[in-house]
Amino acid sequence: MTETLTDVAAAKVVDARGVACPGPLLEAKKAMAGVAVGEVLELWSSDSQTKNDVQAWSGKVGHEFLGVEVADGYDRVFVRRGK
C-alpha cells in the first residue's frame, strides 16, 4: 500500500509560519541537522513559495521532497533526510 503524507510520522516539526523569505528554508536547513538520515522533517510555512523553494533545495542537497499538505492558512511541507 502506498504511503500517503497523512501517514508520515515526522521526526521533527518546525513551525515557520509568519517567517519571511528565505527564513523558512533556513529553518529547514538548521532543523535537518537534528533529523536522522531516513527520517522526515515537517516544515510549516505560511509563505506560498516555501514549498517550491524547499523542493528545489531538497533536490540540490540530496534530500527527498515528499510533498505538501495544505492546512488552514499554511502549508505542511515534508522532506526526508537523504544524507
Annotated catalytic residues are 21
Q: Near other proteins by CB under 8 A, which window of 1-9, 26-34, 64-72, 73-81? A: 26-34
Omega before residue 24 within 30° of 0, cis: no
Cell numbers that stand for 17 in this block:
509560519
Spatial distance between the Cα atoms of 79 and 35, rounded to a whole number of angstroms: 10
Residue whose C-alpha is closest to residue 17's, from 59, 67, 72: 72
Residue 4 or 34: the one with the smaller Cβ distance to other proteins is 34
Which CB sits closer to other proteins, 4 or 18? 18
Binding site for other proteins (CB under 8 A): 19-23, 25-26, 28-30, 53, 57, 60-61
